[in-house]
């Protein structure tokens, strides 16, 4: 039996499907409307994968104005809407409902303006994360957030989940690199928040929208911060005997005030899986691996690495391997960036993303192994160690309902542990449906009620991305 509940579809809305499709067809060209069962199947799930719901229809608007017309029509006719980027969500944030219309941003994929003087870019929401950096790379700039799915994931989805990535230890997550958005509210109203400057006056509505998981409106354009590329960058592999030693080293590095640009960790199983896929030269005799990247001038990198190596030696590091070329550096990151896909070749999995204080990494890792073993399953850990963003990959057989239930229960236990040690339920993947029913473990009833009041101020009818984020029991709708 599934641990995640979905509400029953509204039979009255489902019965009006032909009428709804006809209404949408009058608003957008035929190539922007997906209605056949086979074509809709491409939108029935996201990267959580274990759950599938076929939407009533899919609309792929090309502009903010088309998005506005579609939302206004859905609002007037009481039709639920599920916003969708590239569907790379790992928390079920883009899974539709049978009585809802999916609005995807894939046709809004243009870079509208690049301003190097002010170091900003204005892009449509369907532009991929990596697409921004590729567009400005030749001029010596980049866009900092870099989730592992950056080749596919969209800026609209990044904003919805406040996505992070390996290099966010130094540069911050989406909210730290976003300056403004153009967004369409559920009733079709178009609003602009922020712009191409820092710290707009008034309420921090931009901070509210970032990470709101498509519950407040649909972002159609974004203005993001561009940064100058560093003079040089060097990833280094550190192999340790145990995960405990590697985790203690991470906490010690941060405790000494040393902030590399990235600090990623893999346990033994993750090392084996990623090395078999990428052939990156990871030390297979290590019980745990740190990928630490420093950047700057040669002197800056040498100075920082000297400090990091000295700290690692205090924790019994077995292997220190510096990349010697751009190709070798790319291979090191290929292994890490491919971790989820490589694990998918071995087994089905669910990926948690609770975040904990770095001082609790050792304890949480040990408890994670104990919890997953209790359910008779395996877990590979690969995560953003520098900011304590855990990513245990709990492996199971998706075709075995009993194993799926065990995996979900193990994941819930791990997330409760993260909160109990002073952390939180999600660092970058969002709440979606996966963590929805765990929200009361982190927030009091008063906290949740206030969050729902804010959400309802934007969408009183609760038509936008329903059944996500907030527990179904006791909601305003």
CATH fold, domain 233-339, is Alpha-Beta Plaits (3.30.70)
Report the alpha-carbon distance of residue 263 to residue 362 in Å, rounded.
15
Burial 179-215 (b: 16+ CB within 10 A, else e): bbbbbbbbbbeeeebbebeeeeeeeebbeebbbbbbb
Report the alpha-carbon distance of residue 420 to residue 443 in Å, rounded.
12
Instruction: Answer whether CATH 3.40.50.300 is correct for domain 11-107.
Output: no
Alpha helices by DSSP H, listed for 55-210, are 64-76, 129-136, 155-161, 168-171, 205-209
Report the alpha-carbon distance of residue 466 to residue 51 in Å, rounded.
16
Neighbours of 281 (CB within 10 A): 14
| Structural class in CATH, domain 111-228 | alpha beta
pLDDT at 475: 65
Quick one: which of 384, 253, 382, 270 has its CA closest to 317?
Answer: 253
Report the alpha-carbon distance of residue 242 to residue 159 in Å, rounded.
36
CATH number of 347-438: 3.30.70.2740
pLDDT at 263: 96
Q: 380 near 338, Cβ under 8 Å?
A: no
pLDDT at 2: 47
Phi-psi region of 390 (alpha: psi -120 to 50; beta: other; left: phi over 0): beta
Tokens for 135, please give them: 């567009």
- 392 pairs with which residues across the strands? 381
Q: At what angle do helices 361-374 and 243-255 cross, to 10 degrees?
A: 150
Q: DSSP string covering 340-397, please?
A: HHHHHHH-EEEE---B--GGGHHHHHHHHHHHHHHTT-EEEEEEEGGGTB--EEEEE-
Report the alpha-carbon distance of residue 360 to residue 218 in Å, rounded.
37
Q: Is-above-0.85 flag for pTM?
A: yes
Q: What angle do CA 351, 273, 93 make, to 5 degrees?
A: 20
Counting Cα atoms < 13 Å in the Cβ hemisphere of 400 gives 11
Chain center to CA of 369: 23
DSSP at 477: -
SS3 (DSSP) at 235: strand
Alpha helices by DSSP H, listed for 259-325, are 268-278, 298-314
All CATH 3.30.70.2740 domain ranges in the chain, comma separated: 347-438
Quick one: which of 416, 404, 419, 414 has its CA closest to 381?
Answer: 414
Report the alpha-carbon distance of residue 237 to residue 309 in Å, rounded.
11
Burial label, 236 (beta-carbon count in 10 A; 0-12, 13-18, 19+):
buried
Q: 86 near 163, Cβ under 8 Å?
A: no
If residue 419 lies in a helix (H) or strand (E), which one and from where to where?
A: helix 401-420
Quick one: which of 453, 421, 418, 425 has its CA closest to 439?
Answer: 425
- The long-range contacts involving 276-279, CB below 8 angstroms and separated by at least 24 positions, are 276/342, 277/335, 277/338, 277/341, 277/342, 277/345, 278/331, 278/334, 278/335, 278/338, 278/342, 279/331
Phi-psi region of 211 (alpha: psi -120 to 50; beta: other; left: phi over 0): left
Report the alpha-carbon distance of residue 124 to residue 173 in Å, rounded.
19
- 264 pairs with which residues across the strands? 291, 384
pLDDT at 474: 66
Q: What is the mean pLDDT of each run of 10 residues along the chain (477 residues)?
A: 78 97 98 98 91 96 98 98 96 95 98 97 98 98 95 97 94 96 98 87 92 98 97 96 94 93 96 95 96 96 96 97 92 93 94 94 95 98 94 95 95 98 96 96 96 96 96 70
DSSP at 420: H
Report the alpha-carbon distance of residue 46 to residue 80 in Å, rounded.
18
pLDDT at 49: 80
All CATH 3.30.465.10 domain ranges in the chain, comma separated: 111-228
């Amino acid at each position: 039996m599934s641990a995640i509940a979905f509400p029953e579809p509204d039979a009255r809305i489902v019965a009006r499907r032909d009428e709804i499709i006809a209404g949408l067809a009058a608003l957008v060209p035929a190539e922007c409307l997906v209605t056949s069962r086979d074509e809709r199947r491409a939108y029935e799930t996201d990267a959580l994968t274990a759950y599938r719901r076929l939407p009533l229809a899919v609309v792929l608007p090309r502009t903010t104005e088309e998005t506005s017309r579609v939302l206004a029509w859905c609002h007037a006719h009481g039709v639920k809407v599920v916003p969708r980027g590239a569907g790379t969500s790992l928390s079920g944030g883009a899974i539709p409902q049978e009585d809802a219309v999916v609005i995807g941003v894939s046709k809004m994929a243009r870079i509208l303006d690049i301003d190097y003087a002010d170091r900003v870019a204005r892009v449509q929401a369907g532009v991929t994360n990596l697409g921004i950096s590729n567009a400005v790379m030749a001029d010596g700039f980049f866009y900092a957030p870099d989730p592992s799915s950056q080749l596919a994931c969209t800026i609209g989805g990044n904003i919805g989940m406040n996505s992070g990535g390996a290099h966010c230890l130094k540069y911050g997550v989406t909210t730290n690199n976003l300056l403004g958005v153009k967004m369409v509210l559920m009733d079709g109203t178009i609003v602009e928040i922020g712009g191409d400057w820092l710290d707009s006056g008034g309420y921090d509505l931009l901070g509210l929208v970032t990470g709101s998981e498509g519950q407040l409106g649909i972002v159609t354009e974004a203005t993001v911060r561009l940064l100058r590329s560093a003079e040089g960058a060097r990833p280094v592999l550190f192999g340790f005997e145990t995960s405990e030693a590697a985790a203690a080293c991470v906490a010690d590095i941060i405790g000494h005030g040393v902030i590399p640009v990235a600090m990623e960790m893999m346990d033994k199983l993750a090392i084996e899986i990623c090395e078999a896929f990428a052939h990156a030269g990871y030390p297979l005799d290590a019980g745990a691996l740190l990928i630490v990247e420093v950047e700057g001038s040669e002197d800056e990198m040498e100075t920082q690495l000297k400090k990091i190596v000295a700290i690692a030696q205090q924790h019994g590091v077995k292997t220190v391997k510096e990349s010697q070329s751009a190709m070798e550096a790319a291979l090191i990151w290929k292994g890490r960036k491919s971790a989820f896909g490589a694990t998918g070749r071995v087994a089905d999995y669910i990926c948690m993303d609770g975040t904990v204080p770095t001082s609790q990494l050792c304890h949480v890792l040990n408890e994670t192994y104990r919890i997953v073993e209790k359910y008779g399953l395996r877990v590979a850990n690969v995560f953003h160690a520098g900011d304590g963003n855990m990513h245990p990959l709990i492996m199971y057989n998706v075709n075995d309902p009993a194993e799926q239930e065990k995996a979900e229960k193990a994941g819930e236990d791990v997330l409760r542990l993260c909160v109990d040690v002073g952390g939180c339920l999600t660092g970058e993947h969002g709440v979606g449906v996966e963590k929805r029913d765990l929200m009361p473990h982190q927030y009091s009833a008063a906290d949740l009620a206030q969050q729902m009041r804010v959400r309802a101020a934007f969408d009183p009818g609760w038509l936008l991305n329903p059944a996500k984020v907030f527990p179904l029991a006791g909601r305003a709708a």
